[in-house]
Structure 1
Amino acid sequence: MDKKVAVITGASRGIGAALVGAYRTLGYGVVATARSIAPSGDPDILTVAGDIAERGTAEHVISEGMAHFGRIDTLINNAGIFIAKPFTQYTEADYVAILAVNTTGFFNITQFAIAEMEKRGAGHVVQITTTLAERASSSVQATLAALTKGGLNAATRSLAIEYARRGIRVNAVSPGIIRTSMHPPETHASLDQLHPIGHMGEIDDVVKAVLYLESAPFVTGEILHVDGGQSAGQ
């Protein structure tokens, strides 16, 4: 098929669901995956439910995408777990859950996706990370986010160089705090003040950043900060 295809993880809500809509607006077919995701009435959206931390799920997502669309052009590694706690209060269960999704899930599906992209000599992979991985804040205790998402930033640069001559670009979007349902309204005023620009970001800010990277063939290995100035200082 001539229609390009994007695979989006964590696609059932928030940024992931918005990315599904944005890629469909671009005319892409979309493989949307999350632990729980309802079938779509759009024939160009294939939904695949499952835990991305499980290697079998990752393999199934890519194989179903290939069977349905015949190609994989873009992978958006959006799925993630964020738990803010003082370091000594993290439990072993917290650690296992966060690494499973943020790191193992990335490893699994990115391997399968890049293997298909290599066959065509073209592709694009984008990670959704966090500015907290590079610039810690005393207001947000999130060492496990820094550990896992910081690892994705490093992997982004490494993969970009490894695959630069094979037609596959690899980038990341590093958001500040984005206004989603995970932040109750009573927290918004304090979260706004964590950004030099004076307010949280919106889901559309992240979507536009991903779409910019999609449309920028000379950009690879980039960590694009969409954080209201957090990465510059405060």
Structure 2
Amino acid sequence: MKKQTIIITGASTGIGKAIAGLFLQNEYNVVINSANEANLTETFNELGHHERLARVTGDISRPATGQQLVETAVTRFGTVDILVNNAGIFEPKGFLEVDEAYLDRFLSINLKGTYFTSQAAIRQMLKQGEGSIINIGTVLVDHAIGGFPATAPIASKGGIHALTRQLAAEFGKNNIRVNGIAPGIIRSPLQSKNGISDADSLAGLHLVDRIGETSDVAELVLYLAGSNFVSGEIINLDGGHVSGHHIG
């Protein structure tokens, strides 16, 4: 069985870094991306396995970055078998405080980045006759929290959920599978960036009474990458956050 190649955007920290590490452990070729060159270089050196690891620094909101990722994967390893659209930004801001420039940041990085990177990857996957795309959304698209105002990022992530299903429909006959993962609270640098100093204090939002780990997301990505019969799904990875709540 040929060694497969995965591209992971936003892979210098947190969820993306965990995905890269797990796929390297499972003998995949891996191409990692980040807009932060220093962080990406540090992660590249830390992950090792440089015979199976490549890196591309670039802003994912620019279509040229997605194209460069695909070209790097094909030049270095021969194929693009899996794309994980993980790169994104997320922060709270009240709806009435959002201006056009602020909204455009989320639409450009989150939605446009996922859209055009997928476009570049699908062009290559069509040549190969198969492929898998996994998009990272959020449970907040389907389960809003009144005390956490975040219309700008959630609108962009909602677009990603819709794009996931539409791409699965358009390219299913080409053996290209497209799925999404909607995480709950995951222990990652994103929490501290949003001013949450104790992420574990949010465990009560989940029925299992703990927050998720980056390894939880990585393991689901590994499953979806290997499945040939799951497509068009948005899978809640949220410890039961959407399913129900505790009383007291």
Give me the TM-score of the superposition, normalised by structure 1. Answer: 0.94
Alignment correspondent of 1:21: 21
2-structure distance, mates of 1:47, 1:215: 23
Deviation of 1:99 (Å) = 1.1
Alignment map for 1:43-192 (pairs within 5 Å): 43-184=51-192, 186-192=197-203
Deviation of 1:90 (Å) = 2.4
Query: In structure 2, what residue type is equivalent to 1:132?
Result: L
Structure 2 regions of 5+ residues with no counterpart?
Answer: none
1-structure distance, mates of 2:191, 2:91: 12
Query: In structure 2, what residue type is equivalent to 1:210?
Result: V
Call closer, same or farther: CA 1:200–1:121 in 2, change over 3 Å: same
> Residue 242 of structure 2: SS of its match in structure 1?
helix
2-structure distance, mates of 1:139, 1:198: 19
**Which has the larger displacement, 123-132 or 38-47?**
38-47
2-structure distance, mates of 1:61, 1:216: 23
1-structure distance, mates of 2:12, 2:91: 19
1-structure distance, mates of 2:132, 2:200: 36
> Residue 193 of structure 1: SS of its match in structure 2?
helix
Deviation of 1:199 (Å) = 2.1
Deviation of 1:216 (Å) = 1.9
2-structure distance, mates of 1:143, 1:128: 17
1-structure distance, mates of 2:138, 2:99: 22
Deviation of 1:208 (Å) = 1.3
Aligned length: 234
Deviation of 1:189 (Å) = 4.4
**Contact preservation (8 Å) 2:13, 2:189:** no
Alignment correspondent of 2:219: 208
1-structure distance, mates of 2:65, 2:33: 9
Call closer, same or farther: CA 1:167–1:29 in 2, change over 3 Å: same
Call closer, same or farther: CA 1:70–1:189 in 2, change over 3 Å: closer
2-structure distance, mates of 1:90, 1:207: 33
Query: In structure 2, what residue type is equivalent to 1:110?
Result: S
Deviation of 1:229 (Å) = 1.1
1-structure distance, mates of 2:101, 2:184: 26
Alignment correspondent of 1:226: 237
Query: In structure 1, what residue type is equivalent to 2:27?
Result: G
> Residue 124 of structure 1: SS of its match in structure 2?
strand
> Residue 163 of structure 1: SS of its match in structure 2?
helix
2-structure distance, mates of 1:176, 1:119: 35
1-structure distance, mates of 2:13, 2:200: 23
Deviation of 1:140 (Å) = 1.8
> Residue 182 of structure 2: SS of its match in structure 1?
strand
Deviation of 1:190 (Å) = 3.5
**Contact preservation (8 Å) 1:9, 1:16:** yes
Alignment correspondent of 1:32: 32
Deviation of 1:180 (Å) = 1.2
Query: In structure 2, what residue type is equivalent to 1:32?
Result: I
**Which has the larger displacement, 38-47 or 124-133?**
38-47
- Provide the identity percentage: 38
> Residue 33 of structure 2: SS of its match in structure 1?
strand
